[in-house]
Amino acid sequence: MSHTILSWAMVFAQICLVLAMALAALRMARGPRAQDRVLALDTLYVNSMLLLMVFGIRTGKVIYFEASLVIGMLGFVATVALAKFLMRGEVIE
């Protein structure tokens, strides 16, 4: 019984996170300005990290957690670089 609840909870979590990624992608497409797109990209990174962790719980494989660590680090560096780029004020939209 409790295992059925657990597997349904995992399905629910995966659906939620995929929907969240889709919404972040929607915001990235809509903009309206560059900073909205950068923030949306950062949200997308965090959500994909969480989704990979749920995959990791589901399969019990360590490789998913390593992948989500790498995604987290890449996302951080990418967002910082983009924010620095916006900071210069030389971006022409």
Partner 1 sequence: MSSIEHAADLPAWAALAVAFFLVVGAGLTLIGTIGFVRLPTFYERIHAPTLGTSWGTGGVVMASMIFFTVLSTRPVVHEILIGIFVTVTTPVTLMLLARATLHRDRAEGNPDVPGEAPAQVLVEDGAATKAD
CA quadruple 37, 79, 63, 11: dihedral sign:
negative
18, 33 Cβ separation under 8 angstroms: no
Q: Which of residues 4-33 bind partner 1 (CB under 8 A)?
A: 4-14, 16-17, 19-21, 23-24, 26-27, 33
For residue 10, which of 63, 75, 59, 64 has the smallest C-alpha distance?
A: 59
| 39 contacts partner 1 (rule: CB under 8 A) | yes
Encoded amino acid at 25, one letter: A
- Give the binding site for partner 1 (CB under 8 A): 1-14, 16-17, 19-21, 23-24, 26-27, 33, 35-36, 38-40, 42-43, 46-47, 49-50, 53-54, 56-60, 62, 65-66, 68-69, 72-73, 76, 79-80, 83-84, 86-87, 89
